[in-house]
Amino acid sequence: MPRIFVNFFKKSIPASHVFAVFSGIVIGTLFGLSIPLMVLAHSERVASYEEVAAVSMVEDALRLAGRSSSEEEGFSYITLPGIQKYDGPRLAQSMPIETKEAWFSWMSRNRGDAPVYLEQRWEWAQNLVMTSELKRPEDVRAFLLTPREHFVRAENVKKGLEYADTWLAIGYGATITDPDIVSMMTTTLNVKPWDKVLEIGTGSGYQSAILSYLTKDVYSIEIIRPLYLETDALYRDLERNFPSFSVINRKLGDGYYGWEEFAPFDKIIVTCAIDHIPPPLLRQLNPGGIMVLPLGPPNRQYIMEIVKHEEEDGSITLSRRDVYNGQSVKFIPFRDEVGASYSAPVIETPK
């Protein structure tokens, strides 16, 4: 190298700057090579709440910009403008359920549930799988993620009835349904991650909490004002530790008329008894959609699966199935805003 250039570099570039540039090149090279290894290592770890939330928010930003990467996988969420939704289904998919030990380990890392409740929830899930009231892995995961102990109300917790095999009073003449019937109705609904689901009768909030781990689009209507306010406050309190519940859109109103503003829905679940299918709900159900409801006269209902079909000529037909094959159940009546039942009164014949 000509002496003039050697002298130039000696005078113009301090040794500390040369060292800094050289170090930067070395560090940059090592970092670039490490990225693939970091990605591989991350893919083997179980996602945490925080990781799922971060990915979910990125997905929502893409959706709002019209560039949803989930659409390539068959996901098609309808996101309200400017609102980001926590991805409960993605969290549920990351949870191992192959063994009790793996599930307990995951829950201890990601959640703060009391071990006694985890034991009860795991045993309940195993029983429900054996009876086929929980069939799909998605439904099992949703059940295992939902802390029923928060929804049965304080007086029932004091009695140790959090996972009792029965319905429980939650005040205002309403009840929280048995875990087995909740599970059977959820399984029958066959919720997909891209479904928009309407629930009639928020009640304790337990059913819609389960749904929030199956889809990000949950809409729930409650007609009893004090119960609505109580459950709404409960959700707001729980959302910090259970962010999936933040996707549950709540409304105080008469569920008989559905929620026209956000119709149509892919799935509709009715958690109060009626002797006919409400026409407004049927209209708001998408073709190919499923409605699950307790159908029948007072004190004797049957859980029915209603599937709406649209024929080639545009006509609508319904197929129905008795989910419990003739076994009756009992739900509180489907009432209007003044408390009158939507079912026809039973006329007793003289003996």
Backbone angles phi, psi at 251, to 5 degrees: -145, 135
Q: Determine the Cα–Cα distance for residues 148 and 341; give it in Å rounded to an integer.
A: 28
Mean pLDDT of 83-103: 89
Cβ proximity of 198 and 207 under 8 Å: no
Task: Return mean pLDDT, the chain.
Answer: 81
Backbone φ/ψ region at 220: left (φ over 0), alpha (ψ -120 to 50), beta:
beta
Mean pLDDT of 198-202: 97
pLDDT: which is higher, 1 or 302: 302
Pairing of strands 316-322, 302-310: antiparallel
Element (H, E) at 27: helix 15-43
User: What is the band of 161 on the pLDDT scale with cuts at 50, 70, 90?
Assistant: very high
pLDDT given at position 80: 40
User: What is the band of 63 on the pLDDT scale with cuts at 50, 70, 90?
Assistant: very low
Q: Determine the Cα–Cα distance for residues 297 and 7; give it in Å rounded to an integer.
A: 101
Query: Is the confidence at residue 244, as pLDDT, over 70?
Result: yes
Q: Determine the Cα–Cα distance for residues 225 and 18; give it in Å rounded to an integer.
A: 72
Query: Is the confidence at residue 61, as pLDDT, over 60?
Result: no
% of the chain beyond a pLDDT of 70: 74
Mean pLDDT of 49-70: 42
pLDDT: which is higher, 128 or 111: 128
Mean pLDDT of 96-111: 94
Cα radius of gyration (the chain): 27
pLDDT given at position 338: 87
Q: Determine the Cα–Cα distance for residues 69 and 93; give it in Å rounded to an integer.
A: 17
pTM for the whole structure: 0.77
Contacts of 168 (CB under 8 A, 6+ apart): 152, 153, 156, 161, 175, 176
Cβ proximity of 289 and 266 under 8 Å: yes
Tokens of 81: 């403008």
pLDDT given at position 298: 76
pLDDT given at position 349: 52
Element (H, E) at 305: strand 302-310
Element (H, E) at 104: helix 100-110
Cβ proximity of 304 and 293 under 8 Å: yes
Tokens of 97: 């359920």
Q: Determine the Cα–Cα distance for residues 85 and 65; give it in Å rounded to an integer.
A: 15
pLDDT: which is higher, 271 or 64: 271
Low-confidence winner among 63-67, 162-166, 233-237, 339-343 (lowest mean pLDDT): 63-67
pLDDT: which is higher, 343 or 151: 151
pLDDT given at position 25: 46
Query: Is the confidence at residue 224, as pLDDT, over 50?
Result: yes
Q: Determine the Cα–Cα distance for residues 36 and 170; give it in Å rounded to an integer.
A: 52
Count of Cβ atoms closer than 10 Å to residue 237 Cβ: 12
pLDDT given at position 24: 52
Which of 37-41, 55-59, 151-155 ranks highest by mean pLDDT?
151-155
Best CA proximity match to 129, nearest among 114, 141, 118: 141
Contacts of 205 (CB under 8 A, 6+ apart): 151, 220, 231, 234, 235, 245, 248
Query: Is the confidence at residue 4, as pLDDT, over 80?
Result: no
9-37 confidence digits (pLDDT tens): 444 445 554 445 445 544 444 444 343 33
% of the chain beyond a pLDDT of 90: 65
Query: Is the confidence at residue 348, as pLDDT, over 90?
Result: no
| Residues in a beta bridge with 175 | 169
